Amino acid sequence: MTPVDSHGLISIRRSTHSPVITMVGAAVLVGLLSAAPWIVSQSLASILMNFFILVIMATMWNLLAGYAGMVSIGQQAFVGLGAYATLYLAIKGMNPFVTIPLAAAACGIIALPITYLLFRLRGGYFSIATWVIADTAMLIIGTIALLGGGTGHLVPGLSNLSPTALTDAEYLATWIVALLVVAGTYFLLRSRVGLVLASLRDNEVAARSAGVRVTSARRMVFVIAAAGCGAAGAVLAISQPFVQPGNEFNLQWSAEMLFVSMIGGLGTIEGPILGSIVFFVLQQSLQQQGAWYLIIFGALAMAVAIWQPRGLWGAFRDRFHMELMPVGHWVRETKRPK
Amino acid sequence: MIWVNVLIQGILIGGFYALFACGLSLMFGVMKVINLAHGDIAVVAGYVAVFLAPQLHIPEVWSFIIVVPIFAVAGYLIQRTLIQKSIDRDPFTTLLVTFGFSVVIENLLLEIYTANGQSVNIGALIGDSIHVSNVIYISYISLAVLVTAVVVLAALQLFLSKSGTGRLIRAVADDREAAQLSGANYRHIFGIAAAIAFATVALAGIAYGMMTEFAPTSGGVNLLFAFESVVIGGIGSLWGTLIGGVLLGIAQQVGAHINPEYQVLAGNLLFLVILGVRPHGLFGKKTAFS
């Protein structure tokens, strides 16, 4: 049903086409991806798993930068802390799979006080400060002997499953987290919060003067993004399953999040997913060439930022006027009353 | 006495941080741009010094004589093309582009020169030091770097306050539109500021290679230290950056003295404490804060 204002002058639509098509398509896709470990080869399932981890991270980074204007290059702080939260709880005897929501919550809780420090800086200084936070978190974790210090530690509690059952369980856990993160972001952005974020993205001064609590909105986004990256870190730890500070707290995670969001299209939900597909195609085809995929991808992201800032999905959307996961509002004038 | 040594070593390394940071500070002051590839530029300068100088039959110690001008020109060109294009978009884009640039440089260096450590060969000078007492040594090279840092900062300060170009740079930094109305070509001025930033950070990169080993990933770590020095000292103050660098250096040396693992951590904690209790730094203006 299309909402209409009391005078019948305008109508507000939220979708470019019938939502039924999208829902049927989404249901088929969800069904296929849920059954993937039993349909596709093990190597493809493992690529899909890494793809989901990147989708989770990029979706969170896109929420930060594309919607709340915060360029964080320190999200690896929360990937690492999430991984280590899972490791810690697993060492304490918990089932690693059960730790995933706890790791996410822990990262959200840790992020909250950090925002009070970080939000004192803006722009580029904010960006480098997030990196300092990540560096500090890595160094602190590296001094804790229980967690393996600088050399790392194996996540315990995974050996009671058979290798096939374990791979299937890892796949499903990663897929469910990715699904929850993408769907959660979609509903968040369709809610009132999405409207607030759009207003501060489009014109912060105007939003502030209209009474939008910009800082609280930013704080909430930062905490959510930290929790999401924490969940990504938790599934990463389980899939690896050897956890090491230099690997989990690697700046490369933030680089990949940024490139993927940028190339796919900042400020859209579809963008980071599309960007992740491009990333994995490129990475798989340049597998033999060492770090070249990252060089090409980085150069591509720079070019996109300068010449096509709306990314691949933005270009596609502008051309074909359609969205798969619409979060905006289309206000249209309806027939004028006589 | 051992603590006097900790203090002296902190001051010596602090000079290096200030030299590394002054270009970062200048570019932020003038163009409101944080160049996230700033640290990687220094590392590239280190590689150019190590691999180009022998080809030109110049001793590596003197490589800065050719490398620094090359980087000044490169800085001007990169500013007029890549960075200006991003500035024309918005400040947000400059962060994305310079971060992309940083990752590209780092991985290119990794592909070309591998992850092996390199250092600028300065011959016997590396081991020489002033022997003050049996626990206090001042190495010549660290002292030379500190003196260089102070000279560069003083020259930069003098250039900005006294010369015609310096006045233009300050004018553009204060109010770009007004300066432009008075006939200043702000893009050219931006280019000059970037040239200075690239030249100083190239010098810092070579200095780093003389003091210790560097690898493709050294840029990031040093960018963090430079940034911490700037924030501790106060954004917008050149001498503040020197004090910030010295305080950071001392904090790191104290940390390292307690446990080598705490060296970087102690510096980061000092930075976070300053950010918590005095966010505009020790000598800063409040311009960089929301």
Tens digit of pLDDT for each residue in B86-104? Answer: 999 888 899 999 999 999 9
- Asked if B224 lies within 8 A of A128 by C-beta distance, the reply is yes
- Using DSSP bridges, classify how beta strands B129-131 and A330-333 pair: parallel, antiparallel or unpaired: unpaired
Where do the structural domains in chain B lie, given as residue ranges?
2-277
Is A316 inside any structural domain? no
If one counts the domains in chain A, the total is 1
Phi, psi of B138 (to 5 degrees): -115, 110
| d(C-alpha A53, C-alpha A231), whole Å | 9
Chain A residues within an 8 Å CB radius of B289: 120-122
- Asked if A124 lies within 8 A of B33 by C-beta distance, the reply is yes
Q: Write the ipTM.
A: 0.90
Alpha helices in chain A (DSSP H): 19-39, 42-62, 76-91, 99-118, 123-142, 163-190, 192-202, 204-209, 214-239, 245-248, 251-264, 270-285, 292-307, 311-320
Report B:66-95 residues touching A (Cβ under 8 A).
82, 85-86, 89, 91-95
Chain B residues within an 8 Å CB radius of A298: 100-101, 103-104, 107
- pLDDT of A256 reads 93
Maximum mean pLDDT: which of A189-203, A307-321, B173-187, B198-212: B198-212
Q: What are B10-39's pLDDT values in tens digits?
A: 999 999 999 999 999 899 889 888 999 999
Is A122 inside any structural domain? yes
What's the half-sphere exposure (Cβ side, CA atoms, 13 Å) at A44? 8
Domain coverage including residue A53: 38-250
Q: What are A62-92's pLDDT values in tens digits?
A: 999 998 889 999 999 999 999 999 999 999 9
Spell out the residues 6+ positions from residue B110 whose beta carbon is closer than 8 angstroms to its own: A290, A291, B216, B217
Query: Positive or negative, the Cα torsion across B122, B126, B127, B131?
Result: positive
Out of B93, B97, B104, whose CB is closest to A295? B104
Among B93, B95, B264, most A C-beta atoms within 10 A, so best to mutate, is B95
- pLDDT of A14 reads 74
Chain A residues within an 8 Å CB radius of B275: 117, 120-121, 129
For the CA atoms of B30, B36, B41, B42, what is the dihedral angle to 10 degrees?
90
Is A264 inside any structural domain? no
Out of A119, A139, A292, whose CB is closest to B265? A139
Domain B2-277 fold:
ABC transporter involved in vitamin B12 uptake, BtuC (1.10.3470)
| Helix or strand run (H / E) with residue B98 | helix B91-113
Out of A128, A299, A305, whose CB is closest to B96? A305
- Asked if B108 lies within 8 A of A295 by C-beta distance, the reply is yes
Is A158 inside any structural domain? yes
Q: What distance in Å separates residue B286's CA from the closest CA in chain A?
A: 10
SS3 state of residue B124: helix
Q: Is B47 on the interface with A (CB under 8 A)?
A: no
Out of B91, B111, B271, whose CB is closest to A132? B271
- Asked if B220 lies within 8 A of A259 by C-beta distance, the reply is no
Is A134 inside any structural domain? yes
- pLDDT of A203 reads 82
- pLDDT of B289 reads 40
Q: What distance in Å separates residue A139's CA from the closest CA in chain B?
A: 6
For chain A, list residues whose CB is within 8 angstroms of any CB belonging to chain B. Answer: 65, 69, 71, 73, 117, 119-125, 127-129, 131-132, 135-136, 139-140, 142-143, 150, 251-252, 255, 258-259, 262, 290-292, 294-295, 298-299, 301-302, 305-306, 309
Give the pLDDT mean for A302-330.
Answer: 84
Q: What distance in Å separates residue B107's CA from the closest CA in chain A?
A: 6
Closest-CA residue of B relative to A289 is: B111
Q: What is the pTM of this model?
A: 0.90
- Asked if B107 lies within 8 A of A131 by C-beta distance, the reply is no
Is A99 inside any structural domain? yes
| d(C-alpha A43, C-alpha A52), whole Å | 14
- pLDDT of A7 reads 62
Is A73 inside any structural domain? yes
